[in-house]
Structure 1
Amino acid sequence: MKKLFLTLFLLSGLLVTASCNNDNKKDKKETETVEKETVEVKEEKVVKTPTIVGVAAANENFTTLVAAVKAAGLVETLNGDGPFTVFAPVNDAFAKLPEGTVDGLLKPESKETLTAVLTYHVVSGKFMAADVVKAISDGGGTFTITTVQGGTLTASLDGDSVILTDAKGGKSKVILTDVSASNGVIHAIDTVVMP
């Protein structure tokens, strides 16, 4: 009888030890799984919104604008912290200019003029479409915008469309709004405005 109790006691001890080892292995496996999942989470890449130049460069409607920004040496500026609001002419807007104008502006000797034209499309600060519309409404129908170039644009409404009037009386319609960038916002326009 003593042998039977002793044998049962030893067997129960072995079972407890085996059970503990299985629990330890199970805990270790769970810990490894959690650590592996943690590592996998840490390895996920954070996708950062591109700058104004990056957004424009990724859009086929702004190829002429991007070429002009590069020719004027404004890439670094428009990649800066900002925030900026850019009234960005689409390719068709540049195509409306008299023949040879774009080619002439892209020449190295025209860099100063090109820079003035491009910075006339840039405003310091971030103005979403709703902000511009509210400013027009609060201003009794117009909103004067001071550009980075130093000149002004006058924003008004024609129905639901925002119209920009430049210093020479030329008009441009905003055709796409609120294209977000990490350092501001882009509003596409259908005509190049001139200082």
Structure 2
Amino acid sequence: MIFKKVKPLAVAALASATLFSCASSDNMNDTTAMDDEVSMSETQTMAGNTTEDADAVVVATEISAPIATIPVATLSLENPVEIDEMFDDIGETEQYDLMALAETSPNLSTFVKLMEVSGLKGDFMKDGSYTIFAPTNEAFAKLSQQDLEMLLLPENKSKLIEVLKVHVLPSEVASMQLNTTQRIKLSEEKYIPIDTQLNGSKMVIGGAAILVPDVEASNGMLHVVDNVILPSKYAREDGIR
């Protein structure tokens, strides 16, 4: 069996996930997350400066603050608002940064809460442009009670961060710029696939379909998704599509 060599596109998710492509993307805008020139080193912070090393596409995170135990009962696991009505009450979404925009929607309250307690909320918002794949409350409800409780334990903070960081890219990426030739790299051996379905009208990132695409914020793009992207569930080995 012959595997096609993939080409990194120098896009990273928080801490270690990297979006890269299996083929060239000449139609991408040079200022987007698909820019081959954009990269970040392992020693830099989440909002660190870019370098010219396209193979060191990692954004480091060092968050030492403790996380308190969060009872599952305190989280909202329902969507109070119809999906197609999300953000309808906001005239200009660009007036908000990404996390402030997420906070305006009651459907994203659990995602916002977990970003807060994990310590990621403020750190990745310091500088630059980002993309968030924000799971709805009902997306978290699809997790088993055991898995959700496990993620909320103080001793499993690193696991919570690992799950949340896959939902964030440190460059702005519109839904039309995603395709099946790309993937979110977790390590040298594993990645999260990106798939198109229904003749390209449906975009799925590691089992999470985009429900509300391309909600613009002052510092990037928010896509609402219907599932939590679990690395342990959706990761594939490199070289196998």
Corresponding residue for 2:166?
A: 120
Q: What does residue 66 of structure 1 align with?
A: 112
Q: Secondary structure of 2:95's partner? A: coil
Q: CA deviation at 1:48?
A: 6.8
TM-score for both structures, normalised by structure 1: 0.63
Please give the secondary structure, in 2, of the residue aligned with 1:163. strand
Q: Aligned to 1:164, which of 169, 193, 205?
A: 205
Aligned equivalent of 1:192, options 214, 220, 228: 228
Greater gyration radius: 1
Separation in 1 of the partners of 2:220 and 2:185? 16
Distance in 2 (CA, whole Å) between partners of 1:151 and 1:115 is 17
Structure 1 runs of 4+ with >4 Å offset: none
Question: Is the Cα contact below 8 Å between 2:94 and 2:217 reproduced in 1?
Answer: no
1:130 is the counterpart of 2:172: no
Gaps of 5+ in 2: 1-92, 232-241
1:104: Cα distance to partner? 3.2
Pick the aligned partner of 1:182 from 214, 218, 224: 218
Alpha-carbon RMSD across the aligned residues, in angstroms, is: 2.3
What TM-score, normalized by structure 2, do the two folds share?
0.52
Matched-pair contact (CA < 8 Å) for 1:53–1:78: no
1:145 match: 184
CA-to-aligned-CA distance 1:69-94 (integer Å, 9 cap, x gap): 01101121232223111111111100
Displacement of 1:131 in angstroms is 1.5
Identity among equivalent pairs (%): 30
Q: Of Structure 1 and Structure 2, which has the larger fraction of its residues in helix? A: 1
Instruction: Please list every run of 5 or more consecutive structure 1 residues that lacks an aligned counterpart in the other structure.
Output: 1-46, 166-170
User: Take 1:179 and 1:152, find their aligned partners in 2: how far apart are those partners?
Assistant: 25
Counterparts of 1:37-76 in structure 2, within 5 Å, are 49-76=95-122
Q: Give the deviation of 1:62 after TM superposition.
A: 0.4
Q: For 2:132 and 2:107, how far apart are their aligned partners in 1?
A: 15
1:12-45 Cα shifts (integer Å, max 9, x gaps): xxxxxxxxxxxxxxxxxxxxxxxxxxxxxxxxxx
